[in-house]
């Protein structure tokens, strides 16, 4: 049984994950950590992750092209795979922040190069499909700081 997953940007600028698992049959060491495993990509920020409406993990990061990139966990039984990285576009200057609404749809927030806060969110369409809105500005003029 998986307890926790941690994500980090490593020295190779890729996103890596580490999973904590429960082994109740091992009374001496019932909680263990698996080895770090790569999720790939080349990033200029730390990752942000959240559990989506399907109970899977969505992970986001700012690429070296200044766009926000997204990858999704796919669980089939006990097997875990990941979707390819997809660009969500944008020209941003910070690590994304993510939130989830009551229905489980994900919202992404970040600061643009214009120092405004920008957002994008998922919407549910026909046949229960999920897609992303275009980026939109929430305004504001945040303070300049080095990322």
CA distances for 85 relative to 35, 52, 69, 74, 108, angstroms: 22, 16, 6, 13, 16
Question: Tens digits of per-residue pLDDT, 10-65?
Answer: 999 999 999 888 777 777 777 888 899 999 999 999 999 998 888 889 999 999 99
Rounded distance, CA 70 to CA 41, Å?
Answer: 10
What is the reported pTM?
0.87
Q: How many CA atoms lie within 13 A of 100 on its CB side?
A: 16
């Amino acid at each position: 049984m998986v307890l926790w997953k941690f994500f980090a940007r490593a020295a190779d600028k890729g996103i890596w994950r580490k999973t904590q698992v429960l082994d109740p049959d091992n009374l001496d060491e019932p909680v263990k950590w698996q080895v770090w495993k790569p999720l790939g990509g080349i990033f200029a920020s730390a990752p942000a992750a959240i559990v989506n409406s399907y109970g899977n993990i969505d992970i986001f990061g700012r690429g070296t092209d200044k766009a926000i990139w997204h990858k999704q966990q796919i669980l089939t039984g006990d097997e875990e795979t990941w979707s390819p990285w997809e660009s969500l576009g944008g020209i941003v200057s910070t690590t994304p922040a993510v939130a989830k609404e009551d229905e489980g749809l994900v919202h992404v927030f970040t600061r643009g190069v214009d120092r405004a806060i920008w957002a994008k969110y998922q919407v549910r369409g026909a046949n229960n499909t999920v897609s992303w809105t275009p980026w939109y500005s929430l305004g504001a003029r945040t303070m300049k700081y080095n990322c």
